[in-house]
Chain A
Amino acid sequence: MSARSEPGSQAPQSPTVGVLALQGDVREHVRALTDVGAFVRPVRRPAELDDVDALVIPGGESTTISKLAETFELLEPIRKRIGDGMPTYGSCAGMIMLASEVLDGRPDQQSFAGIDMSVRRNAFGRQIDSFEAPVEIDGISGPAFHAVFIRAPWVERVGEGVRVLGRVTDGTAAGRIVAVRQGNLMATSFHPELTGDLRVHALFVDLVRAAA
């Protein structure tokens, strides 16, 4: 049950999706979400979290986002909202921030947890290994999704109740899990916000509407 669904509260533009705006490619997610019909607000302060039905955690540097979330007292409020069922989607660093376990992270690295999975940071390698490849995503129709991986993580373990939505199909990393969903939470290793293909954002906003 989200904070905005109580009787009498005015929610003329719905759903309202927040984008965590501490660091990273915030603008690209804002544009993609707006294009699929969501009302979008940046979230940098705990109070701003109260105004959103859902949250997107952008790509960026996960150690920086973790540190800023801790410093500016967003860690616990976001964990609590996620625990209460707030739909949340993370791409790349956002996937790391949603993992219950982070591998190859900093010892002090914090996450919002939420999805029962182990995610390895920079699993595909350094920037010179960053790549583009098609990925079939469960729940998305049409041609394979053209996925952009940038110093990307992958999912090494998923718990029960986590649905694998997509894997790398070809090459040395074939079979690696790169898209998952658990309840109202979604995560991808890759960056749909960089491609102009809105199908992942549309899938998430549908999920937000269904959860409202």
Chain B
Amino acid sequence: MSESTAQSGSDQSTVAGEQTVSATGVVGTARVKRGMAEMLKGGVIMDVVTPEQAKIAEDAGAVAVMALERVPADIRAQGGVSRMSDPDMIDGIIDAVSIPVMAKARIGHFVEAQVLQALGVDYVDESEVLTPADYANHIDKWAFTVPFVCGATNLGEALRRITEGAAMIRSKGEAGTGDVSNATTHMRKIRDEIRRLGSLPTDELYVAAKELQAPYELVREVAETGKLPVVLFTAGGIATPADAAMMMQLGAEGVFVGSGIFKSGNPAQRAAAIVKATTFYDDPDVLAKVSRGLGEAMVGINVGDIPVPHRLAERGW
């Protein structure tokens, strides 16, 4: 690390944006937004569409639940425009559990995000799983007190989202398929690009930033620290405890599971097994034990059978 970057350490150097003083102190800082994601590490965040499902998730040991209108597998099957959940449903889920509640907003739909913040959700997922509301711009996430998580398929995309204020990144995978192959592709890609930056001489980081289409300051920070400045989870196609453990071994810091739980034969048992597998991701004996007797996994779709325009990971720019 050169002396020019030593002033404030990695958790401050790229931080900008809105801060507000509340009745207790300063709220909405990058530190409390990113810090919230740090507290979720090693945990599983589960998609739920009803308060009953949220309770099952909490009972199983989820660190948070993600409220959405339909799970990705149903969005795929039913088609149509997919939007933010009904506020009554989100209130119901918030009342049903004591763990953090996240909710999805459409890409670029800053008013859905305003509504979710007003409802008191703990994190907003600006998600490619819903139908995009803006095909050019993502939400200016610095303008919010509530933190955001965004999907990414590669390092440049992750850094653009962080530039816009995302406080957490998840690799996209291909939601609603139960096919983990895109999750592995995206996680490997992000990690490979981070490693590559670390190997470059500093005078080549300018061109690297140009190629990644990301700000130089963030690129330099990643090159120096060997990691994203925010927590990196995985998502999209995780259906079994072994899937979750593989993504953790590939460098994910935690797991989002969507359709994989509530589209399976025994959601409560599968949810609990994925929680245990995420903690003991590197212990095959534990993984073998928790993988037994879970009933049917979700049927799933091979990503290769989905025409490219229908792949959700293509959304986001």
Contacts and interface: CB of A to CB of B under 8 A. Distances in A.
Interface of A: 21-28, 44, 59-61, 63-64, 67-68, 71-72, 92-93, 104-106, 121-122, 124, 126-133, 148-151, 168, 170-173, 191, 194-196
Contact of A171 (B23, B32, B120, B123): B23
Interface stretch (B57-65, B79-87, B257-265): B57-65
Given A131-B25, A131-B27, A150-B39, 15 more contacts: A22-B279, A25-B38, A60-B43, A63-B61, A64-B99, A64-B275, A68-B279, A106-B58, A128-B122, A129-B27, A131-B32, A132-B29, A132-B32, A133-B26, A171-B23
Tell me what chain A mostly uses at the interface: helix, strand, loop, or mixed. Answer: loop
A140 B32 CA distance: 23
B117 interface: yes
Contacts of B279: 22-23, 44, 68, 72
A104 B12 CA distance: 34
A64 B29 contact: no
23 contacts: A24-B43, A25-B35, A25-B38, A28-B38, A64-B63, A92-B39, A106-B58, A124-B24, A128-B28, A128-B120, A128-B122, A128-B146, A130-B32, A130-B35, A131-B24, A131-B25, A131-B32, A133-B26, A151-B100, A168-B24, A171-B22, A172-B24, A194-B31
B93 to A, nearest CB: 13
Contacts of B31: 132, 148, 194-195
Interface of B: 9, 11, 22-29, 31-32, 35-36, 38-43, 58, 61-64, 98-100, 117, 120, 122-123, 145-147, 275-276, 279-280
B39 A61 contact: yes
B29 to A, nearest CB: 6
